[in-house]
């Protein structure tokens, strides 16, 4: 797994969208048991914290110490610094393994080998993600220009898996379901900018251009359109669930 997010762990914790309760309930409804869950590439523990309401024990792993430092401390959640592809858990331990907005960074072969090792025979793997958000029409035009033209060349190639809704990732399990969701927020302009700062392409643009911030190229225009709009953002979200063959 690649670590591209340690450098902005605080921003990631503050500004990244969370997953709707409807999505969590869909996962829970498909479980045979709920003793132990594992959230790999947990980042700041966003999903692990939600799972803690339903499981006796939740383990959450990530390769970024900085991200894990942002995670809430909850009695039945245990954080561990380790890659998703190589864990120290015993065979057949988990009723559920989740990976949210991260599987596109993995070594797929190594990860799925580990899933087959540590998931219970009747357990499930849930892969969650979200794509490019929408706002008001005027802001959307500016944001699409930022996303596609200004920082477009600076996205990592793995980004395409998100654009394709995780429907094109390798998935060597028996597919149980694929379902789309949406999550909406009302954001201040500062929250919008904070989210744009968490883009990997934003960071890559800065590295390649003497730390020039690409958001500055659209900042004033975007601010004007944002203040005139309804300040609503909507993220398309997707959930893919599989079980061992």
CATH value at residue 96: 3.40.50.150
Band of pLDDT at residue 3, cut at 50, 70 and 90: very low
Binned at pLDDT 50, 70 and 90, residue 17 comes out as: confident
Instruction: Look at residue 42 and tell me if it is in a domain.
Output: yes
Mean pLDDT across the stretch 94-121? Answer: 97
Task: Report the domain count for the chain.
Answer: 1
Does residue 149 lie in a domain region?
Answer: no
Give DSSP secondary structure letters for 178-194: EEEEEEEEE--HHHHHH
Domain carrying residue 83: 6-133+156-184+233-243
Q: Is residue 208 part of a domain?
A: no
Assigned domain for 66 exists? yes
Q: Is residue 139 part of a domain?
A: no
pLDDT digits (tens, 9 = 90+) for 170-181: 999 999 999 999
When pLDDT is averaged across residues 94-98 and rounded to a whole number, the result is 98
Q: Is residue 112 part of a domain?
A: yes
pTM for the whole thing?
Answer: 0.91
Structural domain includes residue 94: yes
Confidence (pLDDT) at 1: 55
- Residue 161 maps to a domain: yes
pLDDT in tens, 134-159: 999 999 999 999 999 999 999 999 99
| pLDDT band, residue 202 (cuts 50/70/90) | very high
Confidence of residue 11 (pLDDT cuts 50, 70, 90): very low
């Amino acid at each position: 797994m690649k670590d591209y997010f340690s450098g902005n762990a605080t921003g990631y914790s503050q500004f990244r969208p969370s997953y709707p309760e409807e999505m969590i309930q869909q996962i829970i409804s498909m479980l045979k048991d709920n003793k132990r869950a594992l959230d790999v590439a947990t980042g700041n523990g966003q999903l692990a914290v939600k799972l803690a309401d339903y499981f006796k024990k939740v383990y959450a792993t990530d390769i970024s110490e900085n991200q894990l430092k942002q995670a809430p401390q909850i009695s039945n959640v245990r954080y561990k610094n380790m890659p998703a592809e190589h864990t120290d858990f015993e065979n057949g331990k988990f009723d559920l393994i989740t990976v949210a907005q991260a599987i596109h960074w993995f070594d797929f072969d190594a990860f799925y080998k580990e899933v087959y090792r540590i998931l219970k025979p009747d357990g499930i793997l849930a892969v969650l993600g979200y794509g490019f958000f929408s706002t008001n029409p005027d802001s959307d035009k500016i944001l699409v220009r930022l996303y596609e033209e200004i920082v477009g060349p600076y996205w990592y190639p793995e980004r395409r898996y998100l654009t394709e809704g995780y429907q094109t990732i390798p998935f060597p399990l028996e597919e149980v379901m694929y379902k789309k969701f949406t999550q909406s927020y009302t954001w201040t302009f500062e929250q919008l900018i904070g989210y744009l700062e968490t883009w990997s392409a934003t960071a890559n643009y800065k590295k390649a251009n003497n730390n020039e911030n690409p958001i500055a190229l659209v900042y004033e225009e975007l601010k004007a359109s944002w203040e005139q709009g309804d300040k609503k953002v909507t993220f398309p979200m997707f959930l893919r669930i599989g079980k061992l063959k």
